[in-house]
Amino acid sequence: MSINDLLRPDLRGRTPYGAPQLDVAVRLNTNENPHAPSPGLIDDLAKRVADAARHMNRYPDRDAVALRAELAAYLSRTTGQPLTAEQVWAANGSNEVIQQLLQAFGGAGRTALGFEPTYSMHGLICQGTGTGYVPAARLPGFHLEPDSAALVVREHAPEVVFLCSPNNPTGTALDLEVVEAVYDAAAGIVVVDEAYAEFSHRPSAITLLPGRERLVVTRTMSKAFAFAAARLGYLAADPAVVDALQLVRLPYHLSVLSQAAALAALAHADELLATVEDVKEQRDRLVREIRALDLEVVESDANFVLFGEFADQRLTWQALLDRGVLVRDVGLPGWLRVSAGTEDETGAFLKALADGMREVHG
C-alpha cells in the first residue's frame, strides 16, 4: 500500500495551502502589517517570556484565563460591546479557532457554506475536518445583500455559515443587516471572520452578539496587531459556544510563550493600532493610484486591495516579481491582490505596476 492509498479518499489529490514565501525585497502577498514591533514592545515581550520560562517545567494555564480577560477588555474597549473572558476563546491563530469550530459543529455528514471568492482556508479547514463545503456566489462587485444571502442559506441549511468581513480577497465589508438576515435564516452556527476588522469603516458584528447565541466572531492578532509570527487568534461568542470548543481543543494548546507574548502585545495595543492609521493611508493610496493607471480596484475596508482586470493576471504577477515585488494571485481569473505596505514599499509596488503594465501590454 502506498501512502496515497492509505490517505483518506477525500484528501487524495489535494494541494496544501501555500502562499509563496519568496525572498524578495517587497513582500505584499500575505496581508501582514508592514510595521515591525517597537523596541519597547520587544523589551516587554522578552521580560514576560523570561518570567514565563521560570515555570517552563509546568503545563501552561489550559484555559488561558488571563489572556482571554485581556482580549475581552480589548474588544469591549474598541467595539463598545461589554464582553467577559467567558465569551472569548483563543488559539494558535484564528485558523485553529476555525478548525475547533468545525470539529465541534461541523464534521462528517455536515456542511458549511461560504460566499466565494472568500478566504480559502474556510474551505480547506472544512476538508481537513471532513465537513462538506458549499461555495455560494456573490453578487456583482463581490457584494452580498440581505435577502439573497438569506435565501441561499435557507436553501442549503448548512450547520455552519462563514461570513468574512472585510472579505479576503475582495476587501469588501458587510453591512450588519446582512449578518442579521443570514443569522435569522440559518439554523446553525454563523461565523463572521473579522480578521481585518481594525481596518474597516463599519461596525463590528460583535455588537450583534447579545441575544444571538449561535453567532461567532473570529479575530486575529496576525494583521492589525502586527503579530503574525506569534500565532494568536481568538473569538467572541456566547459562553455555551466556548464551552463546546473545550470538547475538541487539545489540552494546553496555547503555549505559555504564546500567552505571554500576546499579553505583551495587548499591553501595547494603542501603539500597535497607531500603525493601522498608517496602513489605511497606504491602502487608500493604492485604490487611488491603481485607478489612475486605468485599472479596476474593488473598494476596500481591509489592508489590501483586489485589482484587475487582466487578460492573464499571471503575466502581471510575474512582471511584478521580476521587479522585486511579490503580490498574491488568489486564483481569481483577471485579478491580483496586493497588501498595503510601508510608504516606500507601496511606492515600489506602484512603480513596478506602472512599468510592468507597459511591458505586458506594450
Binding region for ligand PLP (CB under 6 A): 31, 93-95, 119, 164, 168, 193, 195, 220, 222-223, 228, 233
The helix (H) or strand (E) run that includes residue 112 is: strand 111-116
Nearer to ligand PLP, 95 or 316 (CB): 95
Report CA 171 to chain centroid distance, whole Å.
11
Report the nearest approach of ligand PLP to the CB of residue 13 (Å). 25
139, 146 contact by CB (below 8 A): no
Report the nearest approach of ligand PLP to the CB of residue 44 (Å). 22
Nearer to ligand PLP, 286 or 319 (CB): 286
Nearer to ligand PLP, 30 or 38 (CB): 30
Cell numbers for 277? 492609521
Three-class DSSP category at 163: strand
Report the nearest approach of ligand PLP to the CB of residue 109 (Å). 26
Report the nearest approach of ligand PLP to the CB of residue 195 (Å). 3
The helix (H) or strand (E) run that includes residue 129 is: none
Nearer to ligand PLP, 123 or 132 (CB): 123
Nearer to ligand PLP, 97 or 357 (CB): 97
**Amino acid type, 165:** S
Cα 270 from Cα 256, distance rounded (Å): 23
Report the nearest approach of ligand PLP to the CB of residue 86 (Å). 22
32 upstream amide cis, omega within 30 of 0: no
Nearer to ligand PLP, 220 or 346 (CB): 220
**Alpha helices by DSSP H, the chain:** 3-6, 39-53, 65-79, 94-105, 120-128, 146-156, 176-185, 239-245, 256-267, 269-291, 313-322, 343-361
Report the nearest approach of ligand PLP to the CB of residue 174 (Å). 13
Q: How distant, in Å, are the alpha carbons of 190, 222, 258 from that of 230?
A: 27, 8, 6
Secondary structure in 3-state letters for 9-29: HHHCCCCCCCCCCCCCCEECC
Cα 83 from Cα 80, distance rounded (Å): 9
Nearer to ligand PLP, 92 or 111 (CB): 92
Report the nearest approach of ligand PLP to the CB of residue 223 (Å). 6
162, 101 contact by CB (below 8 A): no
Nearer to ligand PLP, 199 or 307 (CB): 199
Report the nearest approach of ligand PLP to the CB of residue 54 (Å). 28
Instruction: Please give the torsion angle defined by the CA atoms of residues 308, 124, 188 and 97, in that order, rounded to the nearest 10 degrees.
Output: -100
Nearer to ligand PLP, 124 or 264 (CB): 124
Helix axes 94-105, 120-128, angle to 10 degrees: 50
Report the nearest approach of ligand PLP to the CB of residue 285 (Å). 21
Which residue has its beta carbon closest to ligand PLP? 93
